[in-house]
Chain A
Amino acid sequence: DGGITQSPKYLFRKEGQNVTLSCEQNLNHDAMYWYRQDPGQGLRLIYYSQIVNDFQKGDIAEGYSVSREKKESFPLTVTSAQKNPTAFYLCASSIQGGNEQYFGPGTRLTVT
C-alpha cells in the first residue's frame, strides 16, 4: 500500500538534545512538507521541499533543520535551539504543483 510513514509515534527527549523525526513516502511524490500542530493553533509550516536536494523555510523554521537527499525521505531535526519543541509533528507530501496533501500519522514529541 502506498502512503506516508512517520516514526516513532511517540518520542521523549531531554532538553538540550537534538532529535530527528523520520518521514518516508512511497507515493512517488515530489513535494514534501513538515508541519507543527499545537492545540488551537492549527497547522504551521516548518519546512517544505519541492524537489530532491532543495528545500525552503516555512513560517516557523527557527530551531529546525531538514534534508532531502532522497525523493522518498524528508527527515526533520529539532535542535536544542527550538525554544518550545513539545508538539505534534506532521509530515505530508503532494505531487509537484499538486493541490491536495497526503499526511502521515504524526509524531508526538515531548521534551522535558
Chain B
Amino acid sequence: AQSVTQLDSQVPVFEEAPVELRCNYSSSVSVYLFWYVQYPNQGLQLLLKYLSGSTLVESINGFEAEFNKSQTSFHLRKPSVHISDTAEYFCAVSPSGGSYIPTFGRGTSLIVHP
C-alpha cells in the first residue's frame, strides 16, 4: 500500500515569484510519481512524471520536480509563476508493477495574485 501527503492545502503567491508545492509519499515497493493539474470544473491533466532515470523531471510550461528517494519526496517547483498557473495540483504515486493503481494526494490549491 502507498500513501501521499501534500503538506499545504493552499499556497498563495504573487505573480513572477517562485513557488514550491510539497509532496511526500510512503510505499513498501518501488513507485512511479506524478503531478497533475486541475483547472476549475475540469478533469486532471498530467503535468510531469518520474518513472526512472534522471531524478529531475520537467514540464513544457516551466514546472519541474525532483525525486528524492531518501526523503521520499517529489516536490514541484516553478521559478516564476503566472496568473494562469492558478489551479489545483495533485501529487500521485503508483506502484511500478502489479496493478499500477495510483494513490492521489488531497491536492494543493495554487493561487497566484497579480
Q: Which residues of chain A come closer than 8 Å to B106, judged between CB atoms?
A: 40-42
Assess whether A101 is in contact with B102, with CB atoms less than 8 Å apart: yes
* Nearest A-chain residue to B97, judged by Cβ: A97
Bound state CA distance, A92 and B102, in angstroms? 12
CB contact between A99 and one of B9, B90, B100, B104 (< 8 Å): that residue: B100
Bound state CA distance, A103 and B47, in angstroms? 13
**Which of A12-20, A60-68, A76-84, A104-112 is the contact stretch?**
A104-112
Q: Which residues of chain B come closer than 8 Å to A106, judged between CB atoms?
A: 41-43
CB contact between B43 and one of A40, A50, A97, A103 (< 8 Å): that residue: A103
Answer whether residue B101 sits at the interface, using C-beta atoms and an 8 A cutoff: yes
Q: Which residues of chain B come closer than 8 Å to A108, judged between CB atoms?
A: 41
Q: Which residues of chain B come closer than 8 Å to A43, judged between CB atoms?
A: 44, 90, 104
Measuring CB to CB, which residues of chain A are less than 8 angstroms from any residue of chain B?
Answer: 4, 6, 35, 40-43, 45, 48, 50, 58, 90, 92, 94, 97-106, 108
* Nearest B-chain residue to A100, judged by Cβ: B46
Answer whether residue B34 sits at the interface, using C-beta atoms and an 8 A cutoff: yes
Render B6-36 as a binary contact track against A, CB cut-off 8 A, 1 for contact.
Answer: 0001000000000000000000000010101
* Nearest A-chain residue to B33, judged by Cβ: A99
Q: Which residues of chain A come closer than 8 Å to B36, judged between CB atoms?
A: 103
Render B85-112 as a binary contact track against A, CB cut-off 8 A, 1 for contact.
Answer: 0000010001000011110111100000
